[in-house]
Amino acid sequence: MTPGDAPTLSDRLTAAAAWPVRVLFQILDKPFRLIQRIGGIKTMPYIFLLPNLAFFGLFVVIPLFINFAFSLTGGTNLYLTDRVYTGTEQYAFLFDCGNYADPTSCREDRFWRGIYNTATFIFFQVTFLVLFSLITALILNRKIRARGFFRAVFFFPVLLSPVVVALIWKWILLRDGILNAALVSMGFDKILFFVSPEWSMFWAIFVSIWANMGFYTLILLAGLQAIPPDLYEAAEMDGTSTERVFRRITLPLLWPNMLVVIVLALIKGVQIFDEVYVLTGGGPGTATQFIVQYIYNTGFTNQVQNFGLASAASVVLGVVLFVLTMMQLAATRRRDNG
Amino acid sequence: MADTTADRRSIAALVTARRGRGKLHWTDVFTYAYLVFGVLLMFGPVVWLVLSSFKSPAGLVEFPPTLLPLGQVSVTVEGYDDPLPLFLTTLEDGTQKELAQVRRIGIVSQMVDPENPGETIRVPIDQREPIREFRLATENYVDPLQRFNFTRYLWNSVVVTTLATLVTLLINSMAAYGLSIYEFKGRNAIMLFVIGTLMIPITVILVPVYLVVTQLGMVNSLWAVILPGAATPTGVFLLRQYMLTIPRDLIEAARMDKASEWQIYWRVVMPLAMPAVAVLAIFSIMWRWNEFLWPLIVLNRSEVYTLQVGLNAFQGELDVQWHYILAMTVVTLIPVVLVFAFLQRFITTGIASSGMK
């Protein structure tokens, strides 16, 4: 922006948002000067890092260790010092299964139900999420009219809160909702979606794809736009067919981005909770109860708050996420280093 | 976006290359069909939510639902205190007349002709149909503001979002400044540590963070929601990458002029890092406004609910009052729509360049 330009609306919004920050900075100026005078410039980086690291320590690092400690203890007390050391008992309880393929044979069948539900969910959700994101990105990358508008259309649900998304769809899917009205008008019977386990799972998957697709589309679109255009020009000169161009140029060059998107979707999928919890409440029965809801229920809503068991399940979830994140780092490195 | 219009055109020209002259290739048809379907699928549900939120409770339970919010027309008839609902009635001789209903007894209703209020006519209820007009039930929006804790939830959400974003911006930018401007012992270790914490989502440490929050006496206070998520590794990372691009000469020049380190941070580096700070601010606002699982755990009393938790509590009640829920959902959605409308470019480029949400 040159000095002569009139400030745009977003400039003004930024300025308005920056105002309280500026006041805060003024207040903090004095103590920092004092510290610099006493400790010299060498201490300053540590001082600047201190607040953030204190927060990390208090709310991430210490909890990570406590979590592990919790998982080795039993009882219902929240404070660690009041808890009984039980060794690996919680883990043994979680993994006590006659047959791992059959949740009903497990002592803690809700945990395994949660794992199987989550596995089913991410298998379909990630597959179709990536598929539709790819199709949408390809289409938005074409020469279409009002591209900015269409991109915004597919993107905006990303910003909606999971609770809002769930309520929007719940209202559509209710017994007397508009979808059932459409079914009736076409001569079908009403379907009680939230009474059927299969339909509940279907809508859980559908709604989470609806809400998150725009995010992945955006990453893939950026990837598509980074493909050097001269490759396409060369292909055009050779008279290569569109299908072949897609298979030989677009897909291989987009693949690193695809990998990143797939792993990101997996990481988010494993942690699915918000949308589905509001939409189905985990039901009917335990049909859409996922692993995070198992942890939430076990630790916080059940009559007996079993913090030890919830922590043990969190550790299991953490291990899965750790593996996935390693995959993500590898995928990102591969993409960024070409 | 780095690509030029010329580049785009050449890709597009190729990908949309048509077979034969002027004839639409199937991919063109598919493209536009997909886009139209996409608009319906993405916008439709939200439009339906907004339309429904203006319907009266009676209009909401109607099946099949009407598209627009309608309300029954009522008239004031001489001799009756309250306005009476108007019906299009088929009389015994087959003629149709607009009559007002006085009362309904079983399957018969007593009707009165507004032009001739003296006599009442008995009509079977299946011989009459309500006369309706387009009417917005704005009471859906006004009532919750007065009757429930809704204003409280709204206020709590605003407080959480504002304070949390300020704390996040402050401590994250300070950390990013420390990590990008100075050479010091342990810098790489700290950077590795920041990247490491990126990998630990709150879902993995729910119980122990709850313990920490309890120890600090913050359960059922808004601080329990504001503080745990304030130090975001993504924020530090984003700001640091941006600050690294700021020329060192500027900082050296400021030091020559005897500026304190705090002044350099605040007057030199922060203004230059504003684009990245703005992106982080927008993200933080979205994260906090939409956050659900953590507030659900630490906020157990209705007075401290945020909008998301409050909405969930309402929809979980036995007697679900959809007319209020829908209206409150629309209110919850408005800030997000505003942010999106004004700052779309920031958000989309921010996501595309950082790959985070």
pLDDT at residue B7 in the model = 46
Contact yes or no for A167/A278 (Cβ under 8 A): yes
Count of positions (residues) in chain A? 338
Residue B228: asked if its preceding bond is cis (omega within 30°), the reply is no
CA atoms within 13 A on the CB side of A8: 6
Q: Which of B45, B263, B312 lies nearest to residue A278, judging by beta carbons?
A: B312
Nearest residue, CB atoms, A41 vs list B9, B261, B329: B261
A315–chain B nearest CA distance, Å: 7
β-partners of residue B88 are B98, B129
A56-103 confidence digits (pLDDT tens): 999 998 998 988 888 888 877 778 777 778 878 888 888 888 777 777
- How many whole angstroms separate alpha carbon A196 and alpha carbon A191? 9
Please give the interface size between A and B, counted as residue pairs whose CB atoms are below 8 Å apart: 311
pLDDT value, residue B17:
47
Shortest distance between the Cα of B14 and any Cα of chain A, in A, equals: 7
Confidence (pLDDT) at A6: 65
Which chain B residue's Cα is nearest to A157?
B42
Using an 8 Å Cβ cutoff, are A114 and A293 in contact? yes
Å from B257 to nearest chain A CA? 15
Closest approach of B167 to chain A, Cα-based (Å): 9
pLDDT of chain B along its 357 residues, tens only?
A: 344 444 444 444 545 544 444 566 777 888 889 999 999 999 999 999 999 888 888 777 777 787 888 877 777 777 777 788 888 887 777 777 788 887 887 788 888 887 777 777 888 877 787 777 777 778 888 887 777 788 899 999 999 999 999 999 999 999 999 999 888 888 888 888 887 777 788 888 998 999 999 989 998 999 999 999 888 888 898 899 889 888 888 888 998 988 888 889 988 898 888 888 888 888 888 889 999 999 999 998 888 999 999 989 888 776 778 888 899 899 888 888 887 777 777 666 666 666 555
pLDDT of residue B356: 58
* Residue environment code for A297-330, b if the CB has 16+ CB neighbours within 10 A, otherwise e: bbbbeeeebbbbbbbbbbbbbbebbeebbebbee
Does the complex come out with an ipTM higher than 0.90?
Answer: no
More confident residue, B161 or A236: B161
**Per-residue pLDDT, A1:** 41
Å between A18 CA and nearest CA of chain B: 9
Residues whose CB is less than 8 angstroms from the CB of residue A337 and which lie 6 or more positions away in sequence, other chains included: none
Nearest Cβ partner for B211 among A41, A66, A273:
A66
Q: Output the pLDDT for position B295.
A: 94
Percent of chain A's residues with pLDDT above 90: 29
Q: pLDDT for A199-226, tens place per residue?
A: 999 999 999 999 999 989 988 988 888 8
Residue among B63, B65, B175 minimizing CB distance to A49: B175
The residue-averaged pLDDT of A297-320 equals 87
Q: How far from each other are the two terminal CA atoms of chain A, in whole angstroms? A: 34
| Cross-chain CB nearest to B63 (options A29, A61, A176) | A176
Chain A interface includes B321 (CB < 8 A): no
Q: Which of B342, B309, B340 is nearest to B157 (CA)?
A: B309
pLDDT of residue B18: 45
Please list the alpha-helical segments (H only) found in B75-149: 139-147
Q: Over chain A, what is the mean pLDDT? A: 86
**How confident is the model over A260-278, as pLDDT tens digits?**
888 889 888 989 999 999 9
Contact B207 A70 (CB under 8 A): yes
Q: Which of residues 204-263 of B touch A (CB under 8 A)?
A: 204-212, 214, 227-231, 233, 236, 260-263
pLDDT above 90: residue A121: yes
Does B203 lie at the interface with A, CB-CB under 8 angstroms?
yes
Domains located in chain B, CATH noted = 5-52 (no CATH), 70-134 (2.30.30), 141-354 (1.10.3720.10)
